Amino acid sequence: MFKKINFQFLISYFGLIPYVLTFLDKYYFLIVEEEYLLSFITYYSLIIIVFIGSINWNLKNNPPTHIVIYGFLPSLFAVMIIILSLLNIKILIIFILITLLLLTQLFFDYIILFANEINKKAFYFLRLPLTVLIIIFLLLISL
């Protein structure tokens, strides 16, 4: 039974738990102040974006330069969003930027990493649905 479960997929979907808890707290439990929830989900989203970028690095091999740069760019954009957050830019603008970054990253992941792959299972059953769910939660939480 456990051989059929892909634990990488399962753990990846567990990454949605903070979004669900933040959503529930904002609209139902009202335990944590909204400002803290929004800051938390902003930084958590940036961690995910940077993580997605970093999985493109293959330190055992010498990857092409464009893959190295592509893997680094999410970190650069995350730093820029952190700076905007520290400058007290409206959270809606920050969430829109994060959403655009996630969509751009999804698009280029497909073009650069998955387009030539025969097995696109990781893209269609993990990368695409998780990104869509994160964006939905970001939109719901930002309202």
| pLDDT one-digit tens code per residue, 60-90 | 677 777 777 888 888 999 999 999 999 999 9
Please report, rounded to a whole number, the percentage of residues in the chain having pLDDT higher than 70.
Answer: 94
- For residue 10, what are its two tokens? 């399962």
pTM exceeds 0.75 = yes
Q: Which residues of 116-129 are buried (b: 16+ CB within 10 A; e: fewer)?
A: eeeeeebbeeebbe
In angstroms, the CA 139 to CA 70 distance is 26
Alpha helices in 15-88, H assignment, sequence order: 17-24, 34-54, 65-86
In angstroms, the CA 109 to CA 77 distance is 16
pLDDT at 67: 79
Cα of 99 vs its chain's centroid, Å: 9
- Cβ atoms of residues 127 and 111 within 8 Å: no
